[in-house]
Structures are given as C-alpha cells and as structure tokens.
C-alpha cells in the first residue's frame, strides 16, 4: 500500500490496465503530452506511446463516437471529457449508441467504453465548470454510473469499469482530487497523503460495481450520499453530535438498494444528500426506492438536502454548496421529527 491522491489513484488505474491489456487506449482533450487539465493522465503517453494515449479535437460527441467505434471493434477506450459540464454534446452518442449496442445487436456486440469526467463544485468554477449531471445517466438503461469518494475506491472501481464489457460513466469529484473536503472552505485543506483513506495498493485490484460502503456506523439516522458529500456528512454528524450512519453509494447505477434499506431499517430515519440540484436530482429516485423498501420502518419523512434549483453561482458558491452547517440543521430537524 502507498499513499496516493485521487489523481494518482486514477492514473494508476489506467496505467495498470494499459500494462495488462494492449487493447486499452486513453484519449481526450489535452490528455496526451499535457497529461490532462488535472494531470490524471500525466506520463502515460511517454510510457505507452502516442498511438495508445493521444489528444483529440475539442469535440465531445466526436470523442465519444470514436470511442464507441473502437469499443465495438475490440478495443477498451478510457476517454476523458474534460469537465462534466462538457458532456452534453456527447449525450446522444452515450445514450442512443453506447447504451443500446448490446440490446440492439442481441448481444452480438458490446461497447466496453469508460467515460471519465470531473464533476461538482467547490473550486470556484462557476456555472460552466461545476455541474453534477449524474441523474441524467442513471435514467439510461444500458449504462453504469459510478462516483467514488476516496483514492482506494477510485482506483478499484476505475479498473473494474475499464474491464467491464458495457459502457460506464465514471464521474470524479474534482474537489476530492487532492484531498478530502468537509465543506469548510475557510479551513486549511487536507491532503490524501496524510489521510488513512489515501492508502492504495500499487498493483491490480477491483471493487465490485454496484456495491455501496458504510462510511460511518450510526443508529439515529441514515445519510445516503456519494462523492464529496460523504465528507460533508461526516463533518455534519460530528459537529451536530448526531449518531448518523453514512452510506456511500459509490455506484449510482446499478444501485445497492439492499445496503441502503438495511441501514434505513436500522435507524428509522433517512436523509438523502447530494450536490446536484434538487428537482429531478438522483435523490428523488433514492427517496422513492427507500419509501418503497422501508415504508414501515420510517419514523419521519425522508429529508433531501441538495444544491439549489439554479445554475451554480460563482460569487455565492458556498451558499449553493450543501455544507456541514446546512446538513447539520437538517439532521437535527429530522431526528426531532415525531
């Protein structure tokens, strides 16, 4: 085990899979010589050459479309969309082509393509570099959608995604790239190299796609969350003194409803927490499934804490970002509800 940032863990995952399988290729905007805007692919072109790690034009639909063609003919492309905000031009290729190929060909063809993209706010990226569009992809049959919260999970899940025979959308919370973030933007940043969750095996390993993790045991309320909000939830639980159990989904689709339901049935109260906007956010689907599976165990209505229904503001970023104070207030209200 070595200490890695999430950037290093993601790079290690691509390195390991490229070394094991010559069919794995990496490409996207600036990922070759430059090593990616966040340096996730730094050094890979030098190691594997420009035929396996290369730059693309600034054309997301073309990047994904080319990747799908490569995947159908036997390669395993791991492509980067520079920011999740830029993924929309590729949406038709992802939804209408990659997600449908296995079904429309009756299993004769698959699309083993992994689409990596940084997601979320907390870096003053404003409305066009801070979006969280994960709910759009969880609506699509044929896709798998992943969002890790630690370097260990990022590497294990990315290797599993690249080796999977179906298309995977792999969202990387950019605020977690260099260290965990608890929502207190006015405090010194912490680095993964001094954090226990930064311990990562150097070689090959995988984590199961579709399996959640219990980040914190508790008995008073269950917080169902993912990505950066796992650490905000931890800070809110500690600062409010509420014995919350935190379930990190890790994979949004397929969803591990068994782990979620077991937690909610234990605590009797549930909060759904995410950074994306409220209306039609993934939290709505979570709340619906939790209601279906845990109705007779719930002692209070399910609480949703999310971003606001507005474009991500630059000047008021910390009013939009669900921080520990807002989450803590909601926890107290939820635990006091009759």
Supply the residues annotated as catalytic.
Answer: 129
Instruction: Report yes or no: 56 and 29 within 8 Å, Cβ to Cβ.
Output: yes
Instruction: Report yes or no: 262 and 273 within 8 Å, Cβ to Cβ.
Output: no
Task: Tell me phi and psi for residue 71, to 5 degrees.
Answer: -65, -45
Cα(29)–Cα(31) distance, integer angstroms: 6
**Where does residue 82 rank: exposed (0-12), middle (13-18), buried (19+ CB within 10 A)?**
buried
* Counts of helices then strands in the chain (DSSP H, E): 12, 14
SS3 state at 220: coil
Cα(225)–Cα(245) distance, integer angstroms: 11
Instruction: Report yes or no: 310 and 320 within 8 Å, Cβ to Cβ.
Output: yes
- Nearest to 290, CA basis, from 318, 248, 255, 320: 255
SS3 state at 85: helix
Alpha helices in 21-116 (DSSP H): 44-48, 60-72, 91-92, 101-104
Instruction: Report yes or no: 16 and 202 within 8 Å, Cβ to Cβ.
Output: no
């Amino acid at each position: 085990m070595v200490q890695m940032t999430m950037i290093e863990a993601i790079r290690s995952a691509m390195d390991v899979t490229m070394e094991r399988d010559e069919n794995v290729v990496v490409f996207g905007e600036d990922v070759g010589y430059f090593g990616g805007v966040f340096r996730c692919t730094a050094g890979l072109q030098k190691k594997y050459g420009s035929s396996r790690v290369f730059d693309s034009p600034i054309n997301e639909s073309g990047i994904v479309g080319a990747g799908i063609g490569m995947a159908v003919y036997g390669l395993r492309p791991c492509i980067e969309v520079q920011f999740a905000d830029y993924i929309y031009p590729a949406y038709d290729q992802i939804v209408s082509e990659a997600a449908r190929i296995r079904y429309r060909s009756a299993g004769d063809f698959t699309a083993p393509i992994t689409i990596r993209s940084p997601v979320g706010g907390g870096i003053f990226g404003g409305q066009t570099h801070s979006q969280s569009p994960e709910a759009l992809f969880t609506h699509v049959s044929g896709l798998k959608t992943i969002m890790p919260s630690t370097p260990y999970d990022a590497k294990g899940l990315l290797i599993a995604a690249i080796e999977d025979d179906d298309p995977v959308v792999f969202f990387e919370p950019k605020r977690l790239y260099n260290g965990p973030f608890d929502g207190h933007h006015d405090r010194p940043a912490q680095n993964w190299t001094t954090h226990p969750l930064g311990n990562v095996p150097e070689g090959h390993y995988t984590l199961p796609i579709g399996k959640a993790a219990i980040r914190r045991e508790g008995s008073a309320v269950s917080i169902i969350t993912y990505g950066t909000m796992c650490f905000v939830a931890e800070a809110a639980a500690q600062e409010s003194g509420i014995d919350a159990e935190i379930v990190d989904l890790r994979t949004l689709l397929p969803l591990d409803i068994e782990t979620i339901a077991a937690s909610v049935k234990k605590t009797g109260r549930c909060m759904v927490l995410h950074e994306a906007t409220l209306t039609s956010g993934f939290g709505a689907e979570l709340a619906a499934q939790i209601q279906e599976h845990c109705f007779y165990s719930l002692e209070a209505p399910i609480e949703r804490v999310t971003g606001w229904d507005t474009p991500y503001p630059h000047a008021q970023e910390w009013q939009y970002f669900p921080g520990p104070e807002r989450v803590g207030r909601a926890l107290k209200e939820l635990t006091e509800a009759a």
